[in-house]
Structure 1
Amino acid sequence: MKFYLAVPVIAFALAGCIEKEAGDDGFAKAVSAVSEVKINAESPDMAVKSWWRLRDAEIALDNELCQYGLKRAKNYSQKVSELSTEEIFTGPRCPKSVMTFDRKITNVEVQSDTRAVVTAQITNTTAPEDGASLDYDDRKAKEQGDPFRYVLEREGKEGKWKISQVLNMPSYARKWEEVFKQPAPLNNRWVYENYQ
């Protein structure tokens, strides 16, 4: 069983803990890249393109935070490896490469002075990891990508456009699905297997 280190580590970054301790050039560059993202929300398409630049900067930052988390969890991973074989636990891991995406706007529909919908086709251009297999359907789906819809709103004619909803239609779906959903409070009913 393989795990990707989750990114609750961001809480530490916001508190400034990682920045003080990391001293890592990659982390500093990732933080700087987020700061350097130029935001342009003058039109719906420019707002979406700014969103994509920010998301790409977040991917790089998440990767650096993951690497930092691995260094901090090294003692834990060593102790777990003393008690289990690799079939059960290989330790937390980070993606081997930073994910990349090809994004193309296919339609911009300004529905009113305060609402617009931007449709895009997005493909994951990250190479498969060593040992990963892609059958014909996987390759076809990877090449085709998924359509996304961004609903934008603004307050009045002079306001800046803001993304209020992101929807996608994955290859397995037949209708638009909301991407960002507010998490429901946990009822803690489940005995999560990976913690046992």
Structure 2
Amino acid sequence: MREPTDPGSGPEEWGPAPAVAAAPTAERLLAAVAKGDDGAFDRLYDLVAGPVLGVIRQILRDAAQSEEVAQEVLVEVWRTATKYREERGRAMTWVLTLAHRRAVDRVRSAQASSDRETRAYSRDTGRPFDEVAETVASRMEQQQVRRCMSTLTELQRESVVLTYYRGYSCREAAELLDAPVPTVKTRLRDGLIRLRDCLGVGS
């Protein structure tokens, strides 16, 4: 029998190739972070920072504020990792829920501050701001968007909400919807086209 070092030996005589270690999942990384593993947090940071910023940017629009809130969220992930329970859902969903909640809180805080300034201005000058027209226009726009969203199929609507409004990637949305990625991409494209036509965008 030939030795494994024999140049004529075939691959089958060399033994199986070493297995390539799979990258740790967000769930495993988050579990390690909960135990105080700094290295795991660095890897989790690299994994979730982009999606977190995407969700927050969709809500706040302002780049500087979005980056600031994203950092707050990632600090919160480090501090509260022990609260995550895998049986309740995916780690990425848990992190993005924190991001969405923190961004909404920032919007509400800014609105409350603006309202206080408006009331103070009204008391000082006796001239209240006329916000009626702006409020009516905003509500009409929201009603039109809701009406147009109702014309989409269920999968189109869910694909649009997850990717366009909540910042998930198509692959993440596909996992949440338990649907193939190409199907989600197609439904997203069709849904956005139908929304565009319904809202009269570009017409």
Normalising to structure 2: TM-score of the pair?
0.30
Structure holding more strand per residue: 1
Q: Highest Rg: 1 or 2? A: 2
Normalising to structure 1: TM-score of the pair?
0.31
